[in-house]
Amino acid sequence: MEKHSHDAVYYGVVNLLDNANIVGAVDVWRCRICRKLFCEDKRWGLTELVSYVGFPELAEDERWAVLVCRTSAGLTWSLVAAKPGKTLPHSCTKELVCDVNVDSDFSVHSISFIEGQGNHRLYLLDDYINRELEIGYEGIENVETRR
Ligand SMILES: [Zn+2]
Ligand SMILES: [Zn+2]
């Protein structure tokens, strides 16, 4: 692929649900030339539009994903660029830093056990464009059907 200025057009949205309640969405743009995806998270209450120019760009072999953390206090999510072997900086709570590692199948595991740490899941966004993504995983069936 020759070097070019990305020409990104709106591609779709992934709606995030926590046990059927919408908790946010990720807008996805795609470059018309190289088909690279650009993502922007849209948390409920954050409405200002941002131009895709200046969006972070995926490195080689990276894929956009949502990292979900469930603690006893509830569920949080963040948009991340994931690839196997990569360490994702993460904090379960303000005080509790708990980086996670991406495995070869894009599942995640905490690097070390820390008292009170959350339970973590990673969902690849390109599997869910213009679909709903259920990130609440109280039931084991959600864990098993993660793609
Ligand atoms: Zn491009
Ligand atoms: Zn966490």
DSSP assignment of 35-98: --EEEEEEETT------STT---PPTT-EEEEEEEEETTEEEEEEEEE-TTPEEP-BSSSS-B-
Neighbours of 114 (CB within 10 A): 12
Distance (angstroms) between ligand 2 centre and the Cα of 59 equals: 24
Distance (angstroms) between ligand 2 centre and the Cα of 34 equals: 33
Domain membership of residue 67 (yes or no) is yes
- In angstroms, how far is CA 7 from the centroid of its own chain? 23
pLDDT in the model for residue 15:
95
**Confidence class for position 60, pLDDT limits 50, 70, 90:** confident
Q: Is the pLDDT of residue 143 over 80?
A: no
pLDDT in the model for residue 54:
57
User: How many domains, in total, are found in the chain?
Assistant: 1
Domain membership of residue 43 (yes or no) is yes
Distance (angstroms) between ligand 2 centre and the Cα of 32 equals: 35
Distance (angstroms) between ligand 1 centre and the Cα of 17 equals: 30
Domain membership of residue 97 (yes or no) is yes
Q: Which domain holds residue 59?
A: 8-144
Domain membership of residue 3 (yes or no) is no
The answer to whether 103 and 52 are in contact (CB under 8 A) is no
Distance (angstroms) between ligand 2 centre and the Cα of 78 equals: 10
Which of 56, 66, 108 lies closest to 85, judged by CA? 108
Domain membership of residue 90 (yes or no) is yes
Domain membership of residue 57 (yes or no) is yes
Phi, psi of 82 (to 5 degrees): -115, 145
Query: 79: which strand partners?
Result: 66
Over residues 17-47, the pLDDT tens digits come to 998 899 899 999 999 999 999 998 876 554 4
Written as six digits, the tokens of 122 are 């990673």
Domain membership of residue 1 (yes or no) is no
Over residues 111-131, the pLDDT tens digits come to 888 888 999 999 999 999 999
Domain membership of residue 2 (yes or no) is no
Over residues 61-99, the pLDDT tens digits come to 999 999 999 998 889 999 999 999 999 999 999 889 999
- In angstroms, how far is CA 83 from the centroid of its own chain? 12
**Span between the terminal Cα atoms of the chain, in Å:** 29
Amino acid (1-letter code) at residue 111: I
Distance (angstroms) between ligand 1 centre and the Cα of 30 equals: 8
